[in-house]
Amino acid sequence: MYGNDFSAPNGTPDEAPGGLLGEVEAAEAELRAAAARGRRGGPAPDEDLAAYFAEVVDAEQKIEPRDWMPDAYRRTLIRQIAQHAHSEIIGMQPEGNWISRAPSLKRKAILLAKVQDEAGHGLYLYAAAETLGISRDELVQLLLDGRQKYSSIFNYPTLSWADVGAIGWLVDGAAIVNQVPLCRCSYGPYARAMIRVCKEESFHQRQGYEILHTLAHGTPAQQAMAQDAVDRWWYPSLAMFGPPDGDSTHSAQSMAWKIKRFSNDDLRQRFVDMCVQQAEILGLRIPDADLRWNDERQAYDYTQPDYDELMQVISGDGPCNRERMAHRRAAHADGTWVREAAAAYAAKRAGQKETVAA
């Protein structure tokens, strides 16, 4: 997950039939339709490249890797896609923590598949970032050196099995609300990667919801565990949408470039509005005494997350920042011999082939 500041060209996110998955389908159809509309070829020899770029973006056409693009557009995308990829990779840790302790073989198999998906999402996104001219080695190093961030949400601990459910429902749910508009991003490789990610992500949200639903309809102890998990994950999930619009640094330019489509606050509101009814069916309470329907706004009023805490976690002082980074560095170091062995084997085989050919 993590695409944290969008701004709306036309106000509120529109609701497509079929919910969020329907919107992903619509984004994919739109991508194909835009491609089919076609357009004239590349810029003329004496044409202003910036004007040409703006024209392609305004026409809702995709920018592709070998097209000319402003340096700042390239830098913004590398930063955003890389941080998104890092989030998927670090995001395996909180849930991976529960694979060995999942309550049944079925739950264990599902959780394994989900964590494997997160790894896959990280790899799709790294590949998309690499099309912008940065190498995988550099991207990995930027994460290991702490020079690029990942989503703040993964710096919170998973204390009980119910947390796996809360992550699926709330964290993946927030991620989907954030990510669906990215399926329409102006950069082709990112948009295509996001379409793939979003289609897979919906299973994650549903499996989390199912875990919570089962617990919430279980023994009083199980109900209490589910409620405790929702109590702890609610506000960090709201904070995933980033700072309030007034404090969001990248929004306006990213909106003009059609990298982002909606503002942080618009997406956060949309997430809250979705969750209220889902919580009712779970029979769990959203931990916000001021949560209530506002008839005038046709939306729920809710309590904002603690943005000071968000900034603190982003700057490295969350509950698990050090643990997450130490684990990632150790995993990377522990894998060195595997990478070296595979490279040595490939070199040996290549050498043998040359001998045969000669």
> Interface with other proteins by CB under 8 A: which residues?
40-44, 64, 66-68, 113, 116-117, 120, 123-124, 127, 130, 135-137, 140, 193, 200, 336, 339-340, 342-343, 345-346, 349-350
Nearer to other proteins, 17 or 38 (CB): 38
The Cβ of residue 36 has, within 10 Å, a number of other Cβ atoms equal to 7
- Dist. CA 112–CA 80, nearest whole Å: 27
Residue with Cβ nearer other proteins (130 or 265): 130
Q: What is the DSSP annotation of 188-252?
A: HHHHHHHHHHHHHHHHHHHHHHHHHHHHHTS-HHHHHHHHHHHHHHHHHHHHTT-S-GGG-SSHH
Nearer to other proteins, 104 or 336 (CB): 336
Nearest one of 168, 211, 251 to 1, comparing CA atoms: 168
Task: Give the shortest CB-197-to-other proteins separation in angstroms.
Answer: 12
Of 44 and 289, nearer to other proteins (C-beta) is 44
CB of 66 to other proteins, least distance (A): 5
CA distance 116 to 168: 14
In b/e form, how buried is each residue of 286-318, taking b as 16+ CB within 10 angstroms?
bebeebeeeeeeeebebeebeeeebeebbeeeb
Q: Kindly state the smallest distance separating residue 250's Cβ from other proteins, in Å.
A: 26
Closest approach of Cβ 54 to other proteins, in Å? 16
CB of 92 to other proteins, least distance (A): 15
Residue 68, phi then psi, degrees to nearest 5:
-70, 140
Query: What is the smallest separation between the CB atom of 202 and other proteins, expressed in angstroms?
Result: 12
Sign, CA dihedral 57-63-69-72, equals positive
- Least Å from the CB of residue 192 to other proteins: 8
The nearer residue to other proteins, 43 or 287, going by C-beta atoms, is 43
Could you give the CA distance from residue 106 to residue 111 in angstroms, rounded to a whole number? 9
Residue closer to other proteins by CB (options 49, 159) is 49
Asked whether the beta carbons of 235 and 60 are under 8 A apart, the reply is no
If the CB atoms of residues 90 and 225 are measured against other proteins, the closer one turns out to be 90
The least CB distance from residue 86 to other proteins, in Å, is 15
Closer CB to other proteins, 108 or 199, in the complex? 199
Minimum CB separation of residue 4 from other proteins in Å reads 24
Distance of CA 302 to the CA centre of its chain: 23
Query: Position 278: which residue type?
Result: Q
Nearer to other proteins, 122 or 181 (CB): 122
DSSP 2-29: -------SSSSPPPPTTHHHHHHHHHHH
CA separation for the pair 315, 307 (Å, rounded): 12
Burial zone of 43 (CB within 10 Å; 0-12 exposed, 13-18 middle, 19+ buried): middle
Question: Which residues are bridge partners to 292 per DSSP?
Answer: 301
